[in-house]
Amino acid sequence: MHIAIVGNIGAGKTTLANKLAHHFNWEVFLEDVDHNPYLKDFYDDMPRWAFHLQVYFLNSRFRQTQHIKRIQTANKGVIQDRTIYEDAHIFATNLHQSGLMAERDYDNYRNLFDSMISMVDPPDLLLYLRADLPKLIQQIERRNRDYENNIKIEYLKHLNEHYEQWIGSYKDGKLLIIDVNNLDYVNNPEDLGVIIDRINSTLFGLF
């Protein structure tokens, strides 16, 4: 069983991934953020580092998908924090459409993505955390990573628009949309229970 949690920056993916992994006793796969050699530079100068960062994330996410595939064959459950689909369909597309990634770099990147994606299995469940801008901003501030302090509201808004578009056309498997605007699964176990019930119902037909 493979559940992938998707959503904008600060939506609460990592927090929920850890809680679900604990609940189901499954393995959790997080993003490569702390050791990412481009992320800080990218936020300082997006046009300069966009291509480098996308190639880095693409490779790291592809390796992760291959690792997950091996775990799946061993019949173990997996919770994944963010997917390779979001790199291409959300972040790279947004950078290109915003004029922050040159045409030839984007074409080059998409060719690479297209070659890789045929080797990627979609998750059994895609869990989209939908959050409005005030919630995202509040949670990014709460997390307080210094390189994210200057993220523009416009950037988050465009990412949210791409998420809605992509989720609206997602047909690769089961999809569960959770509106997290009024959920506090950090401090309120009942809110976590609501999400777990909805996962069980979508995946196993329970409840």
Ligand X SMILES: Nc1ncnc2c1ncn2[C@@H]1O[C@H](COP(=O)(O)OP(=O)(O)O)[C@@H](O)[C@H]1O
Tokens describing residue 191 = 């809110």
CB of 76 to ligand LDVFA3IR, least distance (A): 23
Give how many residues touch ligand LDVFA3IR by CB under 6 A: 14
Mask of contacts with ligand X, 183-202, x by CB under 6 A? xxxx----------------
Rounded Cα distance between 94 and 100, Å, is 8
139 binds, among ligand X, ligand LDVFA3IR, none (CB under 5 to 8 A by kind): ligand X
**Active site amino acids:** 81
Closer Cβ to ligand X, 39 or 183, answer by number: 183
Measured CA to CA in angstroms, residue 6 lies from 11, 30, 33 at distances of 9, 12, 15
Applying CB under 6 A, does 142 fall inside the site for ligand X? yes
In the sheet that holds 174-179, the strands lie side by side as: 27-29, 78-81, 2-6, 125-130, 174-179
131 residue type, one letter: A
Of 105 and 129, the one with the shorter C-beta distance to ligand X is 129
**57 interacts with ligand LDVFA3IR by CB under 6 A:** yes
User: Least distance from C-beta 141 to ligand X, angstroms?
Assistant: 9
Annotation-wise, does 13 bind a ligand? yes
Q: Which of 84, 93, 87, 90 is nearest to 119 (CA)?
A: 84
Nearer to ligand X, 53 or 183 (CB): 183
Does residue 76 sit in helix, strand or coil? coil
- Write down the H helix ranges in 74-152: 84-86, 93-97, 103-117, 133-143
φ, ψ of residue 169 in degrees (nearest 5) = -110, 5
Interaction site with ligand LDVFA3IR (CB under 6 A): 9-10, 13-14, 31, 33, 39, 53-54, 57, 82, 87, 91, 148
